[in-house]
Structure 1
């Protein structure tokens, strides 16, 4: 695929207005993360009690529907990053995303203690069969399915997990490389059927080219996604790479 730019979910900040603000530079924007069952919503209440910014709408599924509807005329494809402890809420969110032609992203990334304590976020990475069930539940609805992953989680073989998730129906693997660019190449090799989006430290031409040279199909911006200067800089680097590799194969780093 042509390399692209995604905007990664930012708890309590990544909504329709945020996505629309980045539409001139980005191809895809993940709203959320959003807790979609009672156990994860209880964890969010604890996070908010210690002054973390988090989404906690009265009904998370209404929120998904309303936010995606607000982007129906925006020149950017939306996605929704969801936190869940069971597959049924994931399936329900996926159906809404499918109606809006949006992406459903399963959060296996959040490392906040409150989220890990209820068995979601990065704790899912250590329970690959359950995570694969979440992916399959989403994929069964026909929605484009993404999984947000994190490198350097103890006891987790990320390439093996990526392969299992692609087999379960994941179309996108959104990898927080945690300052280890080489893991992107391992994931891309392990799951060649999935689009790999590389995240962490993307800021400029150098970081964009490092990830794309490792085999990523796209990169994503997290914290600086609300900074138009960074978005423009990264967008230009992604387009430059696409133009170069359209006429010659990329020089892949080991």
Structure 2
């Protein structure tokens, strides 16, 4: 992606309007997360009821995805769209991937959320402990000709993200979006394990120092999460990735081995 800066999904906040607002700074924006099937939607409803969370719960998730992607395209914002999805079945993933593929958007499989309700339903972080099922989701999305990212989290007991990266790459993923959880070194391990993947580093990206730490560790791209609606943060991060791309970092460190289909 160009520039090598993404906006990470924030449940209940990351829609077309949010992506459009950040388009002057970022090369990609992941809308969602959006729960696709009955089980994941029930988990999200429980989270809203119990914790007063902000979540997307449209009557028709696929129609919502199409509507948001179309609205972003109609705005002529110069940004690549992605959609972060939660699901408990490959069938649900296929449906969302088809909508994304039709609109040249990235389908991002959520193997990241750690809320108890989502984990009990079998989605989010639980996918990290079930590599075969996660790889099946990736293959299902890739089978619909969608570009595929997988959002993951570091520091999950019993999970080796290097192994996860290799498995999803073999299943057809194009990118892996790593919430490093203050473990910047994991970024390099993931890149070494699956150099063909675009590695997007997330967690605490706020300024020049954090950008340089992740890119120097081996990330191709960084993403901004919570402060993605703060223009001051986006301006600082964009300046830092531009500085790196202009030659301050190792040659090719930003673009890495990014495959053409993930480029804008």
Same fold (TM over 0.5): yes
Q: Which residue of 164, 174, 180 maps to 1:161?
A: 164
- Aligned residue for 1:173, secondary structure, equals strand
CA distances 1:187-225 after superposition (whole Å, capped 9, x unpaired): 000011100000000000000000000110000000000
TM-score by length of 1: 0.96
Q: How does 1:28-177 map to 2 (within 5 A)?
A: 28-49=28-49, 50-72=51-73, 73-177=76-180
Report the CA distance between 1:31 and its aligned residue.
Answer: 0.2
- Aligned residue for 2:63, secondary structure, equals helix
Mapped to 1, the partners of 2:220 and 2:19 lie a distance apart of 20
Mapped to 2, the partners of 1:161 and 1:248 lie a distance apart of 27
Structure 1 residues 239 and 146 mapped into 2: Cα distance closer, same or farther (>3 Å)?
same
Mapped pair 1:207 → 2:199: no
Q: Which residue of 201, 222, 226 maps to 1:223?
A: 226
- Which consecutive unaligned segments of at least 5 residues does structure 1 have? none
Mapped to 2, the partners of 1:230 and 1:247 lie a distance apart of 24
Report the CA distance between 1:74 and its aligned residue.
Answer: 1.6
Report the CA distance between 1:244 and its aligned residue.
Answer: 1.2
Mapped pair 1:188 → 2:227: no
Report the CA distance between 1:3 and its aligned residue.
Answer: 6.1
- RMSD of aligned Cα (Å): 1.3
Structure 1 residues 60 and 248 mapped into 2: Cα distance closer, same or farther (>3 Å)?
closer
Report the CA distance between 1:157 and its aligned residue.
Answer: 1.0
- What corresponds to 1:241 in structure 2? 244
Report the CA distance between 1:142 and its aligned residue.
Answer: 1.1
Mapped to 1, the partners of 2:250 and 2:167 lie a distance apart of 33
- Which consecutive unaligned segments of at least 5 residues does structure 2 have? 254-264
Mapped to 1, the partners of 2:251 and 2:83 lie a distance apart of 35
CA distances 1:46-85 after superposition (whole Å, capped 9, x unpaired): 0110201100001000000000000112211110000000
Structure 1 residues 203 and 97 mapped into 2: Cα distance closer, same or farther (>3 Å)?
same
Mapped to 2, the partners of 1:93 and 1:21 lie a distance apart of 24
Write out the 4+ residue segments of structure 1 that deviate beyond 2 Å after TM superposition.
245-250
Contact between 1:64 and 1:96, CA under 8 Å: does it hold in 2?
Answer: yes
Contact between 1:3 and 1:217, CA under 8 Å: does it hold in 2?
Answer: no
